[in-house]
Amino acid sequence: MSLRRVVVTGLGAITPLGSTVPAYWEGLRAGKSGAAPITRFDASKFKTRFACEVKGYSPDNYFPTKEGRKMDLFTQFAVIASDEAIKDAGLLEGVNKDRVGVIWGSGIGGLKTFQDECFNFAKGDGTPRYNPFFIPKMIADSSSGNISIKNGFRGPNFVTTSACASSSDSIVAAYNFLRLGMADVIVTGGSEAAITEAGVGGFNALKAMSERNDDPETGSRPYDKDRDGFVLGEGAGALVLEEYEHAKARGAKIYAEIIGGGLSSDAYHITAPDPTGEGVVLVMQNALRDAGIRPDEVDYINTHGTSTPLGDGAEITAIQKVFGEAAYNLNISSTKSMTGHLLGGAGGIEAVASIMAMQHGIVPPTINHFTDDPELDARLNFTFNKAQEREINIAVSNTFGFGGHNTSVVFRKFRD
């Protein structure tokens, strides 16, 4: 059977840099840091006391009070970003909702809800008194469920959970469902809201996060010699993916075409990346093969680039193995230097960033670079500290997760 073309017709985002796609993109282009001292709880006793929070967020600005109380923060972010993308795509009228699905990604789900309910039980007299919304708020699929319920979308509906690769996996799953004819439109992306006592304490225990409390804005510094871990972020990124003929028939605006997706596993360690980068080599090779393109056709890679000492080096090693001499013609950047790491939501906002970069011909920078890492090839263009103008015809978005989950998504500038 012939596979159908799939295009992007809507974008949505709520991020530490801005609560809409235009605001988010402006923050990326300006090289703005989203990191600041934590306000969601008293972090004074934690090793890390800063994060990339969504600034000035209140659910009352988006939801009736009773409705907001029924959703964990990660689901609120999912609904907000998807609302923007759905409106942007013009999906509210004139589509067959039996053929519209939601495939969402979240690595952790309702961590705040789970934590609060356990705290409340521990403070009590041992009698189990749990909020009736505890389970519906906590489970990861409440995100896709709420999006479909709000909009009446009756097509495929589920959530992918693969740590930090979750929302890229949701995008690849949506792409496959569409090109195989199992739906006409799918709202996809991912969200996370793990800036809680449990989230920060847990990642501190793994020694995974930056502890640069004296200078939080520069805490996330991918590829810098003195990087000391990732900065936790929160928010959501949403895409409306649509079969091309369906989009064309309804006169939809088209941002880009998705032309490939690759998955692989490191099969190495539950948290550490394979230092040889072999799993990452495989995932990029799989993605390029699926897209039917050569390595030298890629212009930009939005890297996983979390600012961890081991992870950054393994990814760069893999890029050089896959792209060879063509690696020196690429622009590489890690937008996590600005947004922090959204865990399961990372692939969603980074897909939006990659598409906006193609739209505007601007590569967002890797900020907070101060000292070259002698272990990394200085001839590569890491787009340090300042955005660069460049025509981008093909962009790759990489995301990798604890457990060795690797995913690469390939976008191309749309041509009719």
DSSP labels for 331-400? Answer: EEE-THHHH-B-GGGHHHHHHHHHHHHHHHTEEPPB----SB-TTS-TTSB--BSS-EE---SEEEEEEE
Write the burial class of residue 128 (CB in 10 Å: 0-12 exposed, 13-18 middle, 19+ buried): exposed
What is the span of the domain harbouring residue 171?
7-416
Asked if the structure places residue 245 within a domain, the reply is yes
Q: 405 catalytic, yes or no?
A: no
Q: Are 333 and 365 in contact (CB under 8 A)?
A: yes
Q: What pLDDT tens digit does each residue of the chain (416 aa) get?
A: 689 999 999 999 999 999 999 999 999 999 999 999 999 999 999 999 999 999 999 999 999 999 999 999 999 999 999 999 999 999 988 899 999 999 999 999 999 999 999 999 999 888 998 999 999 999 999 999 999 999 999 999 999 999 999 999 999 999 999 999 999 999 999 999 999 999 999 999 999 999 999 999 999 999 999 999 999 999 999 999 999 999 999 999 999 999 999 999 999 999 888 888 899 999 999 999 999 999 999 999 999 999 999 999 999 999 999 999 999 999 999 999 999 999 999 999 999 999 999 999 999 999 999 999 999 999 999 999 999 999 999 999 999 999 999 999 999 999 87
Asked if the structure places residue 136 within a domain, the reply is yes
CATH of the domain at 313: 3.40.47.10
Q: 341 catalytic, yes or no?
A: yes
Which listed residue (52, 246, 269, 304) is catalytic? Answer: 304
DSSP labels for 198-226? Answer: HHHHHHHHTT-B---TTSGGGS--TTBTT
Work out the number of other CB atoms within 10 angstroms of the CB of residue 349: 35
3-state secondary structure (DSSP) of residue 157: strand
Helix (H) or strand (E) holding 105: strand 100-105
Which listed residue (52, 246, 341, 405) is catalytic? Answer: 341
Q: Which two tokens stand for residue 317?
A: 């090693």
Asked if the structure places residue 355 within a domain, the reply is yes
pLDDT of residue 95: 95
Asked if the structure places residue 107 within a domain, the reply is yes
Asked if the structure places residue 159 within a domain, the reply is yes
The 10s digit of each residue's pLDDT in 278-304 is: 999 999 999 999 999 999 999 999 999
C-alpha–C-alpha distance, residues 294 and 37, integer Å: 44
Asked if the structure places residue 2 within a domain, the reply is no
Q: DSSP label at 45?
A: T
Of 408, 379, 405, 384, the residue nearest 394 (C-alpha): 408
Write the burial class of residue 109 (CB in 10 Å: 0-12 exposed, 13-18 middle, 19+ buried): buried
Of 241, 209, 275, 280, the residue nearest 82 (C-alpha): 241
Which listed residue (164, 246, 369, 405) is catalytic? Answer: 164
Asked if the structure places residue 1 within a domain, the reply is no
Into how many domains does the chain fold? 1
Q: Which two tokens stand for residue 139?
A: 């489970």
| Helix 21-30 vs helix 346-360: crossing angle, to nearest 10 | 80
What is the pTM for the complete model shown? 0.97
H runs (alpha helix) in 54-196: 65-69, 73-89, 111-123, 134-138, 142-151, 166-179
Report the percent of the chain where pLDDT is more than 70.
100
**What count of Cα atoms within 13 Å lies in the side-chain half-sphere of residue 91?**
35
Angle at 196 between CA 191 and CA 197, to 5 degrees: 155
Write the burial class of residue 209 (CB in 10 Å: 0-12 exposed, 13-18 middle, 19+ buried): buried
Q: Are 53 and 15 in contact (CB under 8 A)?
A: no
The 10s digit of each residue's pLDDT in 147-191 is: 999 999 999 999 999 999 999 999 999 999 999 999 999 999 999
3-state secondary structure (DSSP) of residue 322: helix
Asked if the structure places residue 138 within a domain, the reply is yes
Q: In what order do the strands lie in the sheet with 331-333?
A: 157-160, 100-105, 185-192, 235-243, 6-14, 256-265, 405-413, 394-401, 300-302, 331-333
Q: DSSP label at 404?
A: T
Q: 269 catalytic, yes or no?
A: no
H runs (alpha helix) in 139-243: 142-151, 166-179, 197-205
